[in-house]
Structure 1
Amino acid sequence: MRIEVKLKAFEAATPLIADLNFSVEEGEIVALIGPSGAGKSTLLNIIAGLDTDYDGNIANVPERPVGLMFQEARLMPWLTALENITLVAPASHPDPQSEAKKLLSLVGLEKDINSYPARLSGGMAKRLALARAMMFNPGVLLMDEPFSSLDAPAAESLRRLLLTLKKEKPFSIIYVTHDLKEAVTIADRVLILDAKPMTIVHQEIISLPRPRFLHDEAVNEVCKPLYNAFPALLYGDTDR
């Protein structure tokens, strides 16, 4: 997939994104990190086709759909776990219930198939949201700080689950995060973004072997020079 955003502005005199160009290879995980208000969530909406009011082009889009996982689980509270997944099944799917049950098993929710979202913990709700995103069989999954609201063990568990699902059905990921260590832990490549307008100021290839964990010394060694080089962009960021 090739992303080119020449200009995105909510007000003509105030560009939010300008001259932004990058590609995502098949099966690659690209993490985006930058200051609050840089427009990372807006960029994901552009890539997903939810925002078409910009100058640019999204090219080489995979034949399989683009999936999107938000900061909030955004589950339908009146539907069971199974129904939340089958709700988004393509009309052409031959057996959405069987596929949904398989996905619930993969994310460890097979015993909660008939549970409503209010009965699920925060981590379980995010597992359900991830299973729902997988129902699209995405070629690219866009993730907007998907685990930021969880405690450290739950977030770690979901990062491992995400990589397991990726092995089951390979897909690319564009992953927005406010945490550089998380970006280095999960990504093949990290793009550091500036703001007003959003531009790419640095690209870091992550070649550390997997599995990687937040407190690995090797992860810290990758992060230290980046924190030193871009302190204003990497400290204290929370996305819009």
Structure 2
Amino acid sequence: MSKRTSEAARARIAAQREAYRKQEQRRRITMVVTVAVVAVVAVGIGWWSIAQSRSEDLAGNLSPVTVQSNGTVVMAKPGVTGPVVDIYEDYQCPACRQMEETSGATLKNLAAEGKAKVVYHMITIFGQEPTKGNSLRASSAARCIADGDKWLAYHEKLYKNQPSETVNGFSLDDLVKWGKEVGVTDSGFESCVRGQQKAAEHQEYSNKILSTQKITGTPTVMVDGKPLESNTAFVPSALRDAIVNAAKG
């Protein structure tokens, strides 16, 4: 190979190396930019999700709360008949506690705004111990409260003190104590709780609901008889939209 030929070959190799170096540089820049964009989008989606799932603040006074003869509890302003929002819950159900913490304020606000009639149905969906016994004790104790406002405060207290699904909880002593803490003054409350006087009617109501309604788990939220998807019930903004839109339809 002549000197001129070898110089030309070296020049081509150098040019190829330079072109490859620039190509690799562009690839790295593209990769960095892509990763940055994906990260920004992910952060944006994360913030959007947080914003969408953020609980509402209670806007003001609650609407009247009334305990019905069958043990259900209605929260609605006088004259408001719909949309009817039926909430099927179990005090031992962790997802029910989560929904109360996330969407409970939305339900209270909608009722106070006159945009919904909210009906609480406490049932026992568990069939094994200790969860069944825990649920029965809590629900029958709540049925010992006739005052709607005190019932609602007790409802929240029970969720805040929900036991693990693997232990015996909701002891009779605690159920009595928590009632007094939320202001229950009825002289018959303690004996009603300790004697579990409402346990049989609670179990009868649970059996009726589970046999007549399409309840496959708790919590179940229905708007005018139509079940909502769980991801709607757990997202306050979506829950509000679903209920408000039901009134328009």
- TM-score over 0.5 for the pair: no
Report the TM-score, using the length of structure 1 for normalisation. 0.28
Identify which of structures 1 and 2 has the higher relative contact order when contacts are C-alpha pairs closer than 8 Å and 6+ apart: 1
Structure showing the higher strand proportion among its residues = 1
Structure showing the higher helix proportion among its residues = 2
